Structure 1
Amino acid sequence: MTRILQITDTHIVAPPNKVSKVLDTYSLFQQAVNKINKDLVKLGKIDAIIVTGDISDRGDEESYKAFQELITQLHIPYFVIPGNHDRREAMRTCFTSLQSTNLSEEINWIHAFPDLDVIGLDTVIPNSGAGRLSETALTFLADSLQQSKDRPALIALHHPPFESGIQFMDAIGLDGANAFSEILAQSERDIRVICGHLHNSIVCSVGGKTVLSSPSTASSFVTDHRDNAPVGFTQQAGGYMLHEWNNGFRSSYLTLAESGPLYPF
């Protein structure tokens, strides 16, 4: 069994800065780490953490170092992919696992666990909120899925390969989603896809595979499909995800809100 936590959209800024002059994302992530550490007593052994982008809000080295100070408190190996707020060059400088290639190159990787492959894809368009799966990323994905065809694969990317119905987010969606869907449909492997970006938990089917977006640790976006829906975020407590492989995928949503008393039946 392989068990992986997904954390996304931490949007860290180093203290005393705040995102949009409202969100103290450093303190919010510290609270999230504290809650996750409490939850680990109930969850059991975790093999790794996947952080699906927008680690930093500004893409500066100071914020990545602040993020590292906090995530290391979980004492679990972690892997990162960039989101639209991140900067590849600063990430490669700060995260030693990313320093094997040139600073400006896409951050696409594959990591093999005993019974599962995890594939990380870079969807960043520099200086844009929107995302794109380039020919490089799509080729990397197709080639990775051709390996070890009898093994399941967990694919992680930042931008969702589907429309969410949240219109201001769909406006900065993912170019290349159709090609991505075709690659998934052609693969015989058991695949689950995870993403961030939406600050919301949504489940879809793409290319015949299940795709899930995780909520953020920093803020929440309201599910509002109206044409005139207001643009913005709420400070409602977000969450994170647990993805498990045990002769099949199972994904669980875990809230960062503190639970109330437990009542017996």
Structure 2
Amino acid sequence: MTRIIQLTDTHIVPPPKKVSEVLDTYSLFEQAIEKIKQDLPKLGQIDGIVVTGDISDHGDVASYEGFKQVIERLAIPYHVIPGNHDLRSSMHQCFGEMIDVNQSEEINWVAHFHDIDLVGLDTVIPGSGGGRLSPSTLQFLASSLDKSSDRPALIAMHHPPFESGIQFMDAIGLEGVNELHEILTNTQRDVRIICGHLHNSIVCSVGGKTVMSSPATASSFVTDHRQDAPVGFTQNTGGYMLHEWNNGFRSTYLSLAESGQLFPF
């Protein structure tokens, strides 16, 4: 069995700064890590953590160093991929020992666990809120999947390869989904795709594979499919995901809110 925690969209800014003059994302991340520490005894052995982008709000080195100080309180190996708020150059500087495996600017990597491969994909278009699976990233994915026919693969990216119905987020969606669909359709491996970006939990399918977005630690986006839906975030408590392989995938949403009283049946 392999168990991997997914965190996303921490949007760290160094204290005392706040995102949009409202969100103290550093403190929110500290609170999230403390909640996860409380949850760990109930979850079983955790093999790793993957953080699916927008680690920083501005891509500055100070925010990544702050992120590292907090997440390392869990003492669990972790892996990172960039989101549209991140800067590759700063990430290479701060996480170079874990991400600079293919000697390219794009941050694509594979981490091998006992019975599963975790594949991290870079969907960043520098200077843009939208994302793209570049030809080199698509080739990296196809090559990585071709190296085995029987090991399951958990594919992590920032931008979702589906329309969410949240209009202002779909406007900064992902290019290259048709090519991704073809790769997923052709692979014989058992695959699950996970992503962030939406500050919301949504489950879809692409290329016959299940794909899901994780809630964020920094803020939440409202499910509002109206064309004139207001643009913005709420301070509703977010969450994280636990992805497990045990002769099949199981993905569980966990809230960062404190648990209420437990009543016996």
Q: TM-score range by the shorter chain?
A: over 0.9
Note the residue ranges of structure 1 that are not aligned, 5 or more in a row. none
Structure 2: which amino acid aligns with 1:23?
A: L
Residues 1:257 and 2:260 are matched in the alignment: no
| Matches for 1:1-265 after TM superposition, within 5 Å | 1-95=1-95, 96-100=97-101, 105-265=105-265
Specify the SS of the correspondent of 1:40: helix
Kept in 1, the 8 Å contact 2:132–2:175? The answer is yes
Structure 1: which amino acid aligns with 2:122?
A: D
1:125-162 CA deviation, whole Å, 9 max, x = no partner?
00100000000000000011101111100000000000
1:187-244 CA deviation, whole Å, 9 max, x = no partner?
1110000000000000001100000100000000000000110000000000000000
User: When the two structures are superposed, what TM-score results if normalisation uses the length of structure 1?
Assistant: 0.98
Q: State the shift of 1:99 in Å.
A: 3.9
Q: State the shift of 1:40 in Å.
A: 0.1
Structure 2: which amino acid aligns with 1:202?
A: I
Structure 1: which amino acid aligns with 2:98?
A: S
Aligned CA-pair RMSD:
0.9
User: When the two structures are superposed, what TM-score results if normalisation uses the length of structure 2?
Assistant: 0.98
- When structure 1 is superposed on structure 2, of 91-100 and 243-252 the one drifting more is 91-100
Number of aligned residues? 264
Structure 1: which amino acid aligns with 2:254?
A: L
1:93-124 CA deviation, whole Å, 9 max, x = no partner?
0112124565x710000111111011000000
Percent of pairs with identical residues: 71
Q: State the shift of 1:44 in Å.
A: 1.5
